[in-house]
Amino acid sequence: MPLTQIRAFHRPDHIEGVWHLLQEGPEVRLVGGGSELAIRCPSEVRVLVDLAYLGLDRIELADDGSITLGAMVTLTDMLEHPELRALPSGVIQEMMVHVGSPLLRNAASIGGHLARGWLSDVIPVLLVLDASVELYDGEYRTTTLDRYYRDGIHNGLHILTAVTIPPASNGRAAAFLRFSRSAYDHALANAACLVDIEEGRVGTARIALSAGFRAAARQPASESQLVGSGFTDENITAAVSALEIDAHSDWLASADYRSHLARTLVGRCLHLARERAGGGS
Amino acid sequence: MIIRFQLDGSSMETDVEPGTSLLEALRGLGATSVKDGCSHGDCGTCAVLLDGRAVAACLLFAAQVDGSSIETVAGMAGEEGLHPLQSALLDAGAVQCGFCTPGILLTALELLKNNPDPDEVEVRQALAGNLCRCTGYVKIIEGVLLGADRLAGAEGGS
Ligand SMILES: Cc1cc2nc3c(=O)[nH]c(=O)nc-3n(C[C@H](O)[C@H](O)[C@H](O)COP(=O)(O)OP(=O)(O)OC[C@H]3O[C@@H](n4cnc5c(N)ncnc54)[C@H](O)[C@@H]3O)c2cc1C
Ligand code: FES
Ligand code: FES
């Protein structure tokens, strides 16, 4: 059925024009790839604003090794980009092949994906890669992806314009795991981690997971069980015990089941990352 | 609103409601090889090539393709007959009711353009979003691998 309530589709070619339209109220929505809006457009939406004409489709590499993705870069562009594939343990590729299918990834934009914020495999991985986002809300500002969700910025009025992944130092290892009922289904829970080991001890540890509708979150209590300690089975168990999991129940799975899955996935991710970091079994 | 695009090599101009999906617009223009299996991005029967990339037409607004080029399965066969991938699917027995076949052909065509010699896992990953209600997946995968061999042979021979 056509979305008959939509009465205008705008295609501004400058950010101020988009911002001007967006401020008209909740009946205005931005279109990135359009995959979410085409099937789940809220009933109050009357006006669509396409971001395709802002030149936000580029991937740029900075001298310091950081990678900036314009908001309209597609998930396929991310999967195929050599610099992104080269990030620790090929974790972008490990995750991205599970995001829907090529039919989805060829159209879906990273900006739309992050602004949507829920049922995402991409968010936990970008959180452990310590990504930051650039927003426009009358002026440009930058914040970490972690704060973008933790402070609820993603729910406010803004245009997400870019995502930056900082350079990864050598010796880091990462892992991503998800569990879904079938290969093509949304994950019931997923987890990502990134670690590095310095002289037998964990230098950096980042863990993120999601177990339902809310955006994935970093796990500082769990991370601190590892930092500065040996990467031992006992410390991994302690990190898993310290997880704070915000799971929910629905017809697919109970919150208890999701929490159990998330703990198992984090534990497995940490073991996998240790193996990849050459840290023994 | 008026949108213009290339459809299987012909210039199209059409007037659509701003909330019309690409799937609805194409079928409205008579491109009924683009199937409506679910309208929710779940089945892949509506796949088309948008500037060479396979996309689900139900997940896009028609207005997003203004100025682009769309290919459907109707444009796949040439004057000399079926495209080698089409005949490979037929020869492999990969077509039962045929409802999923246009989407599978276009998705597989994109795969073979980017990766002319895929292995079975790569074919499975590429077709992850294409459901076959007749469940003939084994034959479909064999058909795509056969198509890859034939396309490689045709290129090697020319
Ligand atoms: C069939 C199907 C299967 C899926 N499977 C998976 C899966 O396995 N794993 C997974 O992680 N995801 C999955 N998804 C979710 C999918 O990844 C997202 O729908 C997609 O990435 C959204 O991107 P988009 O550009 O199409 O978003 P859009 O539909 O364009 O936008 C989504 C929302 O964000 C807003 N928005 C868009 N761009 C911006 C911007 N730059 N700034 C601010 N707001 C913006 C829009 O107004 C809208 O509210 C699936 C989706 C479908 C339809
Ligand atoms: S009709 Fe588009 S994916 Fe099913
Ligand atoms: S052949 Fe019938 S749906 Fe695939």
Q: From the CA of A106, how far away is ligand 2's center (Å)? A: 14
User: With the C-alpha atoms ordered B93, B97, B102, B107, is the resulting torsion angle positive or negative?
Assistant: negative
Average pLDDT, rounded, for chain B: 95
Token pair recorded at residue A92? 């972008």
For residue A1, tell me if it sits in a domain.
no
| Structural domain for B94, as ranges | 84-157
B53 and B108 part of one domain: no
Token pair recorded at residue A254? 């109970």
* Least-confidence region, from A29-33, A154-158, B71-75, B152-156: B152-156
| CA angle (A269, A270, A273) in 5-degree steps | 85
B70 and B116 part of one domain: no
Domain boundary among B75, B97, B120: B75
**pLDDT score of A199:** 85
B90 and B71 part of one domain: no
Q: Which of B21, B50, B110 sits opposite A38 (nearest CB)?
A: B21
Q: Is B40 helix (H, G, I), strand (E, B) or coil?
A: coil
Phi (first) and psi of residue A81, to 5 degrees? -75, 125
Query: pLDDT at residue B157 above 90?
Result: no
A residues 90-129 lying closer than 8 A (beta carbon) to B: 97, 100-104, 106-107
B65 and B100 part of one domain: no
Strand locations in chain A (E) = 8-10, 28-31, 47-50, 59-61, 67-70, 132-136, 140-144, 159-165, 172-179, 189-198, 201-210, 217-218
For residue A12, tell me if it sits in a domain.
yes
B103 and B42 part of one domain: no
Domain boundary among A131, A165, A199: A165
Domain boundary among B27, B48, B75: B75
* Least-confidence region, from A45-49, A165-169, B56-60, B74-78: A165-169
For residue A3, tell me if it sits in a domain.
no
A38 and A126 part of one domain: no
Strands A140-144, A132-136: pairing is antiparallel
Alpha carbon distance B10, B70 (integer Å): 10
Count other C-beta atoms under 10 Å from residue A229's C-beta: 16
A143 and A238 part of one domain: no
Domain boundary among B25, B52, B75: B75
How many domains does chain A fold into? 3
Closest among A107, A50, A96 to B54, alpha carbons compared: A107
Residue A178 belongs to domain with CATH number: 3.30.390.50
**ipTM score:** 0.95
B89 and B70 part of one domain: no
Question: Cβ–Cβ of A102/B39 closer than 8 Å?
Answer: no
B97 and B56 part of one domain: no
Best residue among B86, B89, B105, B133 to mutate for probing ligand 3, ranked by most atoms within 8 Å of CB: B133
- CB of A36 within 8 A of CB of A75? no
Percent of chain A with pLDDT over 70: 98
Question: Cβ–Cβ of A100/B129 closer than 8 Å?
Answer: yes
A68 and A159 part of one domain: yes
Question: Cβ–Cβ of B19/A76 closer than 8 Å?
Answer: no
**pLDDT score of A170:** 67
Query: pLDDT at residue A5 above 70?
Result: yes
B100 and B54 part of one domain: no
| Largest separation between any pair of C-alpha atoms in chain A | 62
B63 and B92 part of one domain: no
| Structural domain for A244, as ranges | 172-276
How many domains does chain B fold into? 2
**pLDDT score of A200:** 85
Burial of A214 (0-12, 13-18, 19+ CB in 10 A): middle
Domain boundary among A97, A132, A165: A165
A133 and A65 part of one domain: yes
Alpha carbon distance A3, A193 (integer Å): 40
A43 and A95 part of one domain: no
Residue B6 belongs to domain with CATH number: 3.10.20.30
Which atom of ligand 2 is the closest one to the Cα of B42?
Answer: 3
Question: Cβ–Cβ of B56/A103 closer than 8 Å?
Answer: yes
Residue B91 belongs to domain with CATH number: 1.10.150.120
| Residue numbers in B near A6 (CB within 8 A) | 17-19
Residues A79-108 have pLDDT tens digits of: 999 999 999 999 999 999 999 999 999 999
| Residue numbers in B near A101 (CB within 8 A) | 44, 126-130
Q: Which of A1, A103, A183 sits opposite B55 (nearest CB)?
A: A103
A46 and A81 part of one domain: no
B26 and B8 part of one domain: yes
Which residue bears the tokens 């900036």? A68
Phi (first) and psi of residue B110, to 5 degrees? -65, -45
| Residue A39 sits at the chain B interface (C-beta within 8 Å) | yes
For residue A100, tell me if it sits in a domain.
yes
For residue A218, tell me if it sits in a domain.
yes
Domain boundary among A117, A149, A165: A165
User: With the C-alpha atoms ordered B83, B48, B97, B132, is the resulting torsion angle positive or negative?
Assistant: positive
Distances (CA, A) of A150 to A80, A125, A146, A214: 30, 16, 6, 10
* Least-confidence region, from A120-129, A213-222, A233-242, B1-10: A213-222
Residues B103-137 have pLDDT tens digits of: 999 999 999 999 999 999 999 999 999 999 999 99
Q: From the CA of A89, how far away is ligand 1's center (Å)? A: 25
Alpha carbon distance B25, A93 (integer Å): 34
Query: pLDDT at residue A281 above 50?
Result: no
For residue A34, tell me if it sits in a domain.
yes
For testing the chain B interface, which of A103, A121, A182 should be mutated: the one with the most B CBs within 10 Å?
A103
**pLDDT score of A215:** 83
A72 and A138 part of one domain: yes
For residue A281, tell me if it sits in a domain.
no
- CB of A220 within 8 A of CB of A208? no
A residues 72-91 lying closer than 8 A (beta carbon) to B: 76
